[in-house]
Structures are given as structure tokens and as C-alpha cells.
Amino acid sequence: MKRNFWTRLPAAAAGGLLIAVFLGWAAYKQGLFYDADLYGAEATLFAAAAVAGIATAAAGRRSLPWWALAPLGLAAAYACAWLAGAASVKGTADSLLRWCAYGAWLALAALFAARRVRRVAAHAAMHAAGLYFVWGGLAGWYGWISYPDIVYRSSDAALSMTGARLAGFLQYPNAFGAVAAFFALALWQLLDRPQRAVRWFAAVSLVPALTALLLAESRGAMLALAAGGLVSLASALRRGRRGYGLAAAGLAAVCAAFAAKSAFGAMEAGSPGDGAWTLAASTGAFMAAALLLRRPDTASPTVPVLGARARLLLTGAWGGSAVFVVSLVAAYLLLATGGDASVGRAGGNLDTAGARALYYADALRMFADRPLLGAGGEAWRMQVGLYQSGPYIGNEVHSGYLEVLIDTGGLGFAALLVMLAGFAARLWRVRASAAWGPAAVLLLHAAVDFDWSYALIWLLLLLWLALHLSLPSPAPSPTRPLERPGSALPRTARMAAPALLLLAVAIAAVPPALRYQAAAGAYASAQTARGDAARLALLREALRDNPPWNRPRLEAAALLPADERVAWLSEGLRYEPFSPTVHYAVGMAYADTGDVDGAESHLREALRLARFDRDSQNAVIARFAEIAQRLQEEGDREGARRAGLAGIGFFERYRELYALQYEGKSNPWTGTDLFVSAKVNAARSAILAGRRDEAEPWLREVLRDGDSDWQREAAALLTDEGGQ
């Protein structure tokens, strides 16, 4: 058996290297948040999974387990949402491809992890990617590398304790913190492994991972780590070793807090690299303590009696618990003291939690309108303006579970729950106790943030699960033979069916993935093209390869003659009928042609779909004032009157919206200059519509509330008797 292990090691090492490189690349590409970065990888995964599945089936050695295809159930749910009429065809197609890619990735991981030597290689690869992820973020914090937005900066104490948070390659502190917490817990579980090299690796890597988590200041990730830690403590550690685990966790926390405290101070002082020395010292101190405190399973004659007793005292159930609690209190005091700036987040400011509650309530109202099949991919982005209950800014629903719910309805949500429940049942069956805690970290944090928008997080979670789901089942009882699911099917059918399904996915999904990749390339080239003609040609090329993609359509419209824009932009409504951006662009295109009715219809729909967009509200009112003025100068008094009346209507709906929103509260409509521009342009529209009596009160309010420029314009309109 050992001979087989070593002869298979080179191939396993090569596969592990591919996994590590792929995960590292995925991390570097903003966690594959953007679909444009993912298309090529998707096509590669589809093809590789199909080839691997067919080769395995042809060899007849073992069949691909059906649990490895579970993500395809979510892909089918997105397909159903597409057929039912999605809010965004592109968003739904992208989500469908993503879930097919996750299925291909899980299938490849399951096939690779079928043998022990390959599981070892895959574990090593995952931790190598974790080192790259954590140290890449820390290197950005210390100023050793340059990467866009690797450090998030904010002066809001509710968002950042010190004005800087570590965002890492993901460019978002909360998601970065969740991944750092996942790796930290996986490392903590390795501290008590029998292999010395594994223990040393965990001891030298745990404090940097926890430091990265603390620098991210993600309270949700810290809570997810605490919950996952409890799960690991109960499931992954033997009863007699839990005291050591608690002691090690506490010491790691206080060492990381010391390193993070120093890093925050160095960042505030303008020399972030100085914090690296404290991290090195903290890592060394923890490494020494963790390795010294670990007591062997059997007594050793080389250990002094006094040292053995002290170790036994500190790592027993009560001693380990005491070390953990004292260390945790010390870690909190290190981070929560040191000036007023620390009070905001460490003191428990819950403003962001309140905002999420609004998102969740609005998401549930969205789900209630399409409960069975959902509205398809990007449902939240497409429809949030229609459902939002207040003027917040939120392009993400901040819950992976709610995103699946509104995207795919009850059908897709059921598929998600069945998939996770199936994984849990299999883990229980194979007694994979080490899998639960780290998986819980990612699954719990996804409930309160948009982690699942990052393909990297699903790739990590599915790989982690595959490494444990692939463990062999315990030997059956002599009196009760083990039942194998699907054993009623002929062996050839059991092996061929999953492979044929992967082949069908590859045939269906590779061509669109490659077309979408070509479209993304053409669009990227258009951003640096010289000359409008070259840019327009590239944008048209992007649309040929990906017709539902409205971003190049909107940018190309600005380069087209006015008489072509309406038809060009209206095509985009076929693919995103609820897009306020497209309706707004179509309405403005009608305005360019002087078509008052067409402009009013589409702009009214745009503002219905995004009623709290103040910039658009003000711009629409200004545009109708401009149309009315132009038609007046052209001698079309009736057209000017109709345009002016439309401008008045938009203004009155705008004012009523905010009056209702802030009824009984401090209303920003009064006492500030927030709506000054809208009042001036509405007054101009009213004058051109022959309703000067309505314009005068608005203009007098501007004289009271506006700045000097708006006051001069209001005064000119008040004294201009010939404004009509």
C-alpha cells in the first residue's frame, strides 16, 4: 500500500499544483466576482470535467458519485427562471454558467480526491492557496505590494475603527474576513495532528490568518468563526484534547490581537510596514507556546515532571478553558482601547445591521411577487429600486440565501437546501468530523453578506467538502451489510450516466462561455481604443457575441446619431425589461429627438423603477425644462406646453415621494438646498407651460434656501415676465 502511495505521488503533486495555482489565480482576480473574469475558466472546467468523467467511466475503475453533480440542480433552477421570464437575461445566463462551473469543479474535485494520496495533495494545495490569500492581503496592508483597493478606507466610525480595513484581493473586508476565518479554523484543527510537519505549519500560519481577520474588522466573520469553532470543538477534537485546543485558540487570539493593534497603529502613523515586526514576534511566540503546550498521547521520559504537570494543568478541560477566556478578554481589551476611534465598531455600533434588515425585508417582498421560480440572476440589482422601502444604496442584498431565494424562487432555494442537506448526510455517514467547522464559517457568514457573489468562496467550500465527502465509508457491520445507493442499476449505467451528463453540460455551455469571453475582451479593448469609430466597432463586436449585455449597448448609444439611438437602446429592453438604466437611456434618446410622449413614458418608468435615485429625478426635471425651452424657441408652443407640464408632473411626484417617506420625521425636502435644482427647473417648466402662478412659490423657496448661483437664476425667472 505504501508503494502505491509513493508511485502515485508525482501525479498527485501535479494535480495539487494545478489546484493551488487555480485557487491563487481566482483569489488574485478579485475572487472571480466579475463574470468577465470567469468565462474562460468556466469553459475550461466544463471541458476538463467532461473529459475526466468519460475517461473514468471508460476505465471502469469507479463511478463519479452523484453528490458531485449537486450544483447542477441550482443551474437547472436558473434555467427555469430564464424560461419563465427573467428580469435580466444576461444575469440569469451568467448565474446558470456559474452553477454549471461549480458542478464541474466539484466533479473534478471528487474524482481527484478519490484516492488518499491525491486528497493529501489537494489539502496541501488548498492551504498553499490560503497562505497566498492571507499573506497577499497582509503584504498590501504593510505596503509591500500595490493592488487596487486592497485596503478599504473610511472616516465613518461605524464602518472602520481606525479609518483603514484590510480588504485583500477581494476588495471587500467582510468577504476577505470570512475567507481568512475559514483558513484560520482549518489551521487550528491541524495544531493537534500527529504529523510534526503539519503541526509546525499550522503553528506558524494561524496567527497571520487571525491577524488578517482582525485587520478586516468584520464582526460577522468573527461571529462565524466563533460558531464554527464551537462546531469544531465538539466534532473534530477528541474529548481529552479539547483543553489544548481551547488554550491554543486563546493564545492565538491574543497574539493576533497584539499584532493587529500594532498594525493599526503603524497604519495611522503613516508607516504601515512597521507592523510586520510585531506580527513576526507574535507568530514566533505563539508557535513556541503551541508546540510546548501540546502534550503527546503517551508519556515521554524526556519531559521533566514539573513541565509535564504544568502542561497538563494548562491543557486540561478547566485549565484550557481558563486560558481561553483570559486570552480572549486580553485580546478584546487590546483592540477596544486606545482612543475614541476604537469605540465605533468595537463598541458594537449596529448601523450596518439595521441597513441589512431593510434589505432583507425588501427582498422578501420581492420574493413574494415571484415565489415559485424567482426573477432570475441579478434580480436584486434589476429590481431593488422598485421594492426598496427607503433611500438606501445597496447593489447587493447582503445574504447569499436570500439572493438564491429571489433569483430562483422556492424551487431553487429547495435545490440549495437539498444539496446542503445531502452533503451533511454524507459527511455524517463517512464520519468526516473535521469538515463541519470550517464549512460552517462560510455557510453562516454567507447568510449576512454577499460572499456567494465571489466564485472563489464557492470553489473553496466545494473543494473542502469534496475532500471529506470522498472519504471511504466505514466498514459495514457483519450482521448488516452496507447498502450502496443506486446499486440496483447496472454498473455500466451507474458509471456512464454522470459522465454523459457532464458531456452534455460541456456541449451546451462551452460555446456561450467562449462567446461571452470574446465579448468581454472586445469590451475591454473598446475602453482603450483610439477614436470613436474604433470604439464603436468594438462595442458592436461585444454585442454580437453577447446580445443581452446592455453595458456596451449603452456606451455605444452615445456614439450613434440621435435618430438611431431610440431603436438601438430599445433592443436592450428585450433582455432587461425592468432596468431603470435602460429605460432612462431610451427616454433621454426620445428627448433628443423632441418626442415628448416617448420621453415621458420611458423616463416615468425609469423613475418608477428607481424612485429614490435623486440624481435621475433632478436630471429628468431639468431635461423637460430644456425640451420645453427648445420647442418654445422653435415656435412649437404646444410642444413646449406639453413638455413643461411633463416636467411639473415629475417634480410633483418627486416631492410627494419624499413627503410620504419622511412623514412625521425630519424631511430633507424643507430647510435645505437638497431639492433646489429641481425647484428651479420645475419653475422654468411651469413658466413655459403657462402656469407662472405655480412657479413663483418654488422660486421664492429657492431664494430662501439655495446658494448664490441658484438664487440668481430664481431671481431672473421671477423678474422675467416674458419667460413664455
Residue 403 pLDDT more than 90? yes
Residue 653 pLDDT more than 70? yes
d(CA 680, CA 246): 66
Quick one: residue 667, left, alpha or beta (phi over 0 = left, psi -120 to 50 = alpha)? beta
Which of 198, 44, 213 minimizes the C-alpha distance to 123? 198
Quick one: residue 270, left, alpha or beta (phi over 0 = left, psi -120 to 50 = alpha)? left
Dihedral through CA 340, CA 341, CA 342, CA 345, nearest 10?
120
Span of 14-28, 310-324, 558-572 with lowest mean pLDDT: 310-324
Task: List domains and CATH numbers for the chain.
Answer: 548-719 (1.25.40.10)
* Opening angle at CA 365, ends 662 and 77, nearest 5: 150
Residue 494 pLDDT more than 80? no
Cell for 334? 487590546
Radius of gyration of the chain (CA): 30
Handedness of CA 591, 592, 595, 601 (dihedral sign): negative
Quick one: pLDDT at residue 628? 93
Residue 299 pLDDT more than 70? no
d(CA 405, CA 401): 6
Distances (CA, A) of 640 to 585, 633, 682: 21, 9, 13
Question: Which residues, other chains included, contact 589 with Cβ-Cβ below 8 Å and sequence gap of 6+?
Answer: 557, 562, 565, 566, 569
Contact between 175 and 165 (Cβ < 8 Å): no
Cell for 486? 443506486
Span of 289-293, 300-304, 349-353, 567-571 with lowest mean pLDDT: 300-304
Contact between 154 and 165 (Cβ < 8 Å): yes
CA atoms within 13 A on the CB side of 230: 6
Contact between 686 and 695 (Cβ < 8 Å): yes
Q: pTM of the full predicted structure?
A: 0.92
DSSP string, 444-473: HHTTSS-GGGSHHHHHHHHHHHHHHHTSPP
Tell the burial category of 263 from Cβ atoms under 10 Å away from its Cβ (0-12, 13-18, 19+): buried
Quick one: pLDDT at residue 722? 41
**Best-predicted range by mean pLDDT (382-391, 536-545, 628-637, 670-679):** 536-545
| pLDDT band, residue 313 (cuts 50/70/90) | confident
Quick one: pLDDT at residue 482? 47
The pairing of beta strand 151-153 with beta strand 164-166: antiparallel
Buried b (16+ CB within 10 A) or exposed e, 583-596: bbbbbbbbbbebbb
Buried b (16+ CB within 10 A) or exposed e, 552-566: bbbbbbeebeeeebb
Contact between 672 and 650 (Cβ < 8 Å): no
d(CA 312, CA 292): 11
Tell the burial category of 38 from Cβ atoms under 10 Å away from its Cβ (0-12, 13-18, 19+): buried
Residue 720 pLDDT more than 80? no
**Best-predicted range by mean pLDDT (414-423, 479-488, 692-701):** 414-423
Quick one: pLDDT at residue 72? 97
Quick one: pLDDT at residue 193? 87
Residue-wise pLDDT tens digits, 189-238: 999 888 889 999 999 999 999 999 999 999 999 999 999 999 999 998 88
Higher pLDDT, 674 or 53: 53
Residue 304 pLDDT more than 60? no
Identify the residue whose cell numbers are 448526510: 425
d(CA 99, CA 165): 31
Average pLDDT over residues 360-384: 95
Average pLDDT over residues 239-267: 92
Q: Which amino acid is at 689?
A: A
Residue-wise pLDDT tens digits, 661-714: 877 666 665 545 568 889 999 999 999 999 999 999 888 888 887 778 888 888
Q: Kind and range of the H or E element at 54?
A: helix 39-59
Span of 174-178, 255-259, 341-345, 638-642 with lowest mean pLDDT: 341-345
Contact between 598 and 587 (Cβ < 8 Å): yes
Cell for 134? 492571507
Average pLDDT over residues 277-306: 76
Helix axes 116-141, 196-216, angle to 10 degrees: 40
Which of 382, 361, 379, 357 minimizes the C-alpha distance to 370? 379
Contact between 617 and 678 (Cβ < 8 Å): yes
Cell for 194? 500527529
Residue-wise pLDDT tens digits, 326-336: 999 999 999 88
Average pLDDT over residues 372-386: 94
Average pLDDT over residues 598-625: 93
Distances (CA, A) of 541 to 39, 490, 571: 17, 49, 16
d(CA 303, CA 529): 71
| pLDDT band, residue 63 (cuts 50/70/90) | confident
DSSP string, 116-172: HHHHHHHHHHHHHHHHHHHHHHHHHHTTSS--TTSEEE-S-TTT-SSSEEE-GGGT-
* Opening angle at CA 55, ends 51 and 61, nearest 5: 145
Percent of the chain with pLDDT over 70: 89
Span of 92-101, 330-339, 495-504, 707-716 with lowest mean pLDDT: 330-339
Quick one: pLDDT at residue 47? 97
* Opening angle at CA 556, ends 552 and 560, nearest 5: 165
| pLDDT band, residue 155 (cuts 50/70/90) | low
d(CA 351, CA 218): 14
d(CA 361, CA 87): 20
